[in-house]
């Protein structure tokens, strides 16, 4: 099963990706994680990416595609994968179709007016990678999973959120039409509890 998860920042993609990966035993592949891992390990691709990003530029499509392609060729992806954060635009989607076309594309659709609250209320743990929301854990400073310090990501502020939503609308939202025309798009109502969103996804995937 080859899956892609789409959704605006704050739509709950990360949470649902973890649930899906666990239930269906699929490797959860996040481009953000791939960037960090390759840069940290100083791989040839990581060095190229670091060189580009050090100048303040976004990683170009060709490097991002090459990074994802290398990852999908690893043994744990032979039975399927879950892509989160890729593709980000139409050129990346077209490139992906050439070597690993997805079976199902799930869009977690949310009311964008609620996104700011979701994002600005997020708290992250740098130690275990956990992500939480003050609506559920309260205004605590310690990670509920490992007990380490929780932090507010620097881009989780109203101004940055607005900019990120504009980027999403301009680049990523057209992917919805792209996959809809292919008959692969499934829209899930993201304005529900985490459990209900996941339940709807399971109904689709079977």
Report CA-CA distances (Å) from 57 to 85, 92, 138, 204: 18, 17, 37, 38
10 Å CB burial of residue 6 (0-12, 13-18, 19+) is buried
10 Å CB burial of residue 183 (0-12, 13-18, 19+) is exposed
Coil vs helix vs strand at 109: strand
Residue 114 structure tokens = 């609620």
Active site residues: 13, 88, 122, 153, 164
């Amino acid at each position: 099963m080859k899956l892609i998860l789409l959704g605006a920042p704050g739509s709950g993609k990360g949470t649902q990706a973890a649930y899906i990966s666990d239930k269906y035993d699929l490797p959860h592949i996040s481009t953000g994680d791939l960037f960090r891992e390759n840069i940290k390990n100083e791989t040839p691709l990581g060095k190229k990416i670091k060189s580009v990003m050090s100048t303040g530029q976004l990683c170009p499509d060709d490097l991002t595609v090459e990074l994802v392609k290398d990852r999908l060729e690893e043994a744990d992806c032979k039975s399927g994968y879950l892509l989160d954060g890729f593709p980000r635009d139409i050129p990346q989607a077209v490139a992906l179709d050439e070597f690993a076309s997805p079976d199902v594309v799930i869009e977690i659709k949310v009311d964008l007016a609620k996104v700011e609250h979701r994002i600005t209320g997020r708290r992250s743990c740098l130690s275990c990678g956990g992500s939480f929301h003050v609506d559920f854990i309260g205004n605590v400073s310690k990670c509920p999973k490992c007990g380490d310090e929780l932090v507010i990501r620097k881009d989780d502020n109203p101004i940055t959120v607005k900019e990120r939503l504009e980027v999403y609308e301009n680049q990523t939202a057209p992917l919805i039409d792209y996959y809809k025309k292919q008959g692969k798009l499934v829209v899930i109502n993201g304005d529900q509890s985490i459990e209900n969103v996941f339940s709807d996804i399971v109904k689709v995937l079977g």
